[in-house]
């Protein structure tokens, strides 16, 4: 490697260098004798500003700078699934064997494990291949058939393609001659710059729901495949637990989990749990569909900024293969703060709360990379993004929450007081919303053979009446209210504790299939109606309550498993009969 310049100033992760040879904006560079990984973030005359992805202590003016000739890029190919990367695609497993328990500087690891893959071609030499077309497949995990595609920047006639067999990552797989006569050798992998969105051939409307198995989300604030959701909440409110639940239970085909500036122990938790848990949809270990990107809060701050882009680029790569990918980013606030920190060192003019003026456009561009698309290969693929937001002081009016809310279409607001009372998930059902309810409704109607929209509307209305009544209750107590209103409170409690609350750690209830969700909801809504009719007919509340047997219903969700869902239907018949028996005519007869 030949130096292209000299360091002239070191200010934490921000380094200034004088450039002798051409270097491009956003080019990946190696900084100093230690060859620390970095990126060019500003260029002015012969001076370049670099952000460095590793701790810079020991670096001094006069040390050399080396260029790489390419933008900060990832290596994309088989072997990504099941990996744990740092923010710039270094494999933490490899760093562990090479460096021991701490992450030292200057680590270089191959992005993908070196091993052979069995490749089966899908096309014949002689055919014309457009960019993104399918060349062949590799079985990456029992869950993921890895589709080897022509890189997006290349198209032409297929001159040569290997036969089925085992190949190393660097082996030549195909030769493509472009229109201009240039020949491209293709292998099982290619490189792609993280900050550049991968192309597709058009956007599609958001699709069927991303089923999460979390009742409050699926039923009240659903997310559609290809959609975006913001998950803001103060510390300890349950953002990470909820995202982990989605990693485990949601019906995405590939999961990319970006731990951005959060806890090491949380990554350890995922790493210990995922290989042992099986996907409810396929019965396979969850690690076989998951990629982890970990930049914990004590890892270098500039790599935190990059980790988000690393994550979304990995997601796009699998989307392009026709998969539905869900990306969890925990937490996007740490990414925004990394931007702020770098901007501060550059002495850029701060806008709101010290964040640079380009914060909203960066957030918008990130969420814009979600969506359901027609891939270049003509398949359907999608990326769903769920971004956790950690507002200072839990105040949702701060810039990151505000702008994220603008660019996402589902808003799952976590609430400190619900979390304090251990009402989990602590999603506030009054301030949360989703624009996808109508979009996913046909799927639910079809899947569960119920008038899903009407059912949830009725449940929502009970919760809304309850919210209004609670204000009265706080002033006069529940006892002072008329029976009809107390009945609303009673059933609302059932909905809140028996439906909305869901313990992510519970053996039976951690995950709730759509069928069980609808059974429970139908039961509670039906009992509400029957009870109301009885009260109208003059039956005293006490007797209706007795028939209801609240403690039993509150425990129902944790007593009846997904497989036993239909038992809830049986119970409903039983309770309906009990309610009917209270009817005045019944009593006389």
Scanning residues 368 to 397, which ones bind ligand ATP (CB under 6 A)? 390
β-partners of residue 290 are: 255
Assess contact for 186 and 151: CB atoms under 8 A. yes
Tokens for 66, please give them. 């080396």
For residue 392, the partner it binds in ligand ATP, Mg ion, another protein, none, with Cβ less than 5 to 8 A by kind, is: another protein
Would you state the torsion angle of the CA atoms of residues 564, 570, 575, 581, taken in this order, to the nearest 10 degrees? -170
Check residue 505 for interaction with ligand ATP (CB under 6 A): yes
Backbone angles phi, psi at 515, to 5 degrees: -60, -45
Among 156, 238, 300, 387, binds ligand ATP (CB under 6 A): 238
Site for another protein in 342-401 (CB under 8 A): 344, 350, 353-354, 390, 392-395
Check residue 92 for interaction with another protein (CB under 8 A): yes
Among 22, 116, 378, 420, binds another protein (CB under 8 A): 420
Distance CA 60, CA 6 (A): 10
Smallest separation (angstroms) from ligand ATP to the CB of 72? 27
Q: Which helix (H) or strand (E) holds 166?
A: strand 165-167
CA angle 520, 574, 557 (to 5 degrees): 25
Assess contact for 127 and 272: CB atoms under 8 A. no
Check residue 554 for interaction with another protein (CB under 8 A): yes
Q: Write each residue from 119 to 158 as x if it is in contact with another protein (CB under 8 A), else as -, in one continuous string.
A: ----------------------------------------
Smallest separation (angstroms) from Mg ion to the CB of 502? 18
Cα 435 to chain centroid distance, Å, stands at 17
Among 240, 250, 295, 375, binds ligand ATP (CB under 6 A): 240
Assess contact for 334 and 258: CB atoms under 8 A. no
Distance CA 274, CA 251 (A): 15
Check residue 184 for interaction with another protein (CB under 8 A): no
Distance CA 328, CA 256 (A): 6
Q: Which helix (H) or strand (E) holds 94?
A: helix 92-99
Among 491, 504, 525, 527, binds ligand ATP (CB under 6 A): 504
Among 28, 219, 240, 501, binds Mg ion (CB under 5 A): 240
Site for ligand ATP in 103-162 (CB under 6 A): none
Q: Which helix (H) or strand (E) holds 469?
A: helix 452-476
Which candidate, 57, 48, 21, 26, places its Cα nearest to that of 39? 26
Backbone angles phi, psi at 364, to 5 degrees: -60, -45
Q: Between residues 34 and 162, which has the closer beta carbon with respect to another protein? A: 34
Q: Is 350 helix (H, G, I), strand (E, B) or coil?
A: strand
For tokens 């519970």, the residue is 506
Among 198, 239, 372, 557, binds ligand ATP (CB under 6 A): 239
Site for ligand ATP in 405-464 (CB under 6 A): 424-425
Site for another protein in 320-339 (CB under 8 A): 334, 337
Listed ranges 239-247, 276-284, 370-378, 466-474: which one lies at the site for ligand ATP (CB under 6 A): 239-247
Assess contact for 198 and 345: CB atoms under 8 A. no
Check residue 477 for interaction with another protein (CB under 8 A): yes
Site for another protein in 232-271 (CB under 8 A): 234-236, 259, 261, 263-265, 267-269, 271
Q: Between residues 207 and 233, which has the closer beta carbon with respect to ligand ATP? A: 233
Smallest separation (angstroms) from another protein to the CB of 369? 25
Distance CA 240, CA 329 (A): 10
Distance CA 337, CA 305 (A): 9
Check residue 276 for interaction with another protein (CB under 8 A): no
Listed ranges 95-103, 132-140, 159-167, 308-316: which one lies at the site for another protein (CB under 8 A): 95-103
Q: Between residues 142 and 392, which has the closer beta carbon with respect to ligand ATP? A: 392
Question: What are the residues binding ligand ATP (CB under 6 A)?
Answer: 233, 235-241, 262, 390, 424-425, 503-505
């Amino acid at each position: 490697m030949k130096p292209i310049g000299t360091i002239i100033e070191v200010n934490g992760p921000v380094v200034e260098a004088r450039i002798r040879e051409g270097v491009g904006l956003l080019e990946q560079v190696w900084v100093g004798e230690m060859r620390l990984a970095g990126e060019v973030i500003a260029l002015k005359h012969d001076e370049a500003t670099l952000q460095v992805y590793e701790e810079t202590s020991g670096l001094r003016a006069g040390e050399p700078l080396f260029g790489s000739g390419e933008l900060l890029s990832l290596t994309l190919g088989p072997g990504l699934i099941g990996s744990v990367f740092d923010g710039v695609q270094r494999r933490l497993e490899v760093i562990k064997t090479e460096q021991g328990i701490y992450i030292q500087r200057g680590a270089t690891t191959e992005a993908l494990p070196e091993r052979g893959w069995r490749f089966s071609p899908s096309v014949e030499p002689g055919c014309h291949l457009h960019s993104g077309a399918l060349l062949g497949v590799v079985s990456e995990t029992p869950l993921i058939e890895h589709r080897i595609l022509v890189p997006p920047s290349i198209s032409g006639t297929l001159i040569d393609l290997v036969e089925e067999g085992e190949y190393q990552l660097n082996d030549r797989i195909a030769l493509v001659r472009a229109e201009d006569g240039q020949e491209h050798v293709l292998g099982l992998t290619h490189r792609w710059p993280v900050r550049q969105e991968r192309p597709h051939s058009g956007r599609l409307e958001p699709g069927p729901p991303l089923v999460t198995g979390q009742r409050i989300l699926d039923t009240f604030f659903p997310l559609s495949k290809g959609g975006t959701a913001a998950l803001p909440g103060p510390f300890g409110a349950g953002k990470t637990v909820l995202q982990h639940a989605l990693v485990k239970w949601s019906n995405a085909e590939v999961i990319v989990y970006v731990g951005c500036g959060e806890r090491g122990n949380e990554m350890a938790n995922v790493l210990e749990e995922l290989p042992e848990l099986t996907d409810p949809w396929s019965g396979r270990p969850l690690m076989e569909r998951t990629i982890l990107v970990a930049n914990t809060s004590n890892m270098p701050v500039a790599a935190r900024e990059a980790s988000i882009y690393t994550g979304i680029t990995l997601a796009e790569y699998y989307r392009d293969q026709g998969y539905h990918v869900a990306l969890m980013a925990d937490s996007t606030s740490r990414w925004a703060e990394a931007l702020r920190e770098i901007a501060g060192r550059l002495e850029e003019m701060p806008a709101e709360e010290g964040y640079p003026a380009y914060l909203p456009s960066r957030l918008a561009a990130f969420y814009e990379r979600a969506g359901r698309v027609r891939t270049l290969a003509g398949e359907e693929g999608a990326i769903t993004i769920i971004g956790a937001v950690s507002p200072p002081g839990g105040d949702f009016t701060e810039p990151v929450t505000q702008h994220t809310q603008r660019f996402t279409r589902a808003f799952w607001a976590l609430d400190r007081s619900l979390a304090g009372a251990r009402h989990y998930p602590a999603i506030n059902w009054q301030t949360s919303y989703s624009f996808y309810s109508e979009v996913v409704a046909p799927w639910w109607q079809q899947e569960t053979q119920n008038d899903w929209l009407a059912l949830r509307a009725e449940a929502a209305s009970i919760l809304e009446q309850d919210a209004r009544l609670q204000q009265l209750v706080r002033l006069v107590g529940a006892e002072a209210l008329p029976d009809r209103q107390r009945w609303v409170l009673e059933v609302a409690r059932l909905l809140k504790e028996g439906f909305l609350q869901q313990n992510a750690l519970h053996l039976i209830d951690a995950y709730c299939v759509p069928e069980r969700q609808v059974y429970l909801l139908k039961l509670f809504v039906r009992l509400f109606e029957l009870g109301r009719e009885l009260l109208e007919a003059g039956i005293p509340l006490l007797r209706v309550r007795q028939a209801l047997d609240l403690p039993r219903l509150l425990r129902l969700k944790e007593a009846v498993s997904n497989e036993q869902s239909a038992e809830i239907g049986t119970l409903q018949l039983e309770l309906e009969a009990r309610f009917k028996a209270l009817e005045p005519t019944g009593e006389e007869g």
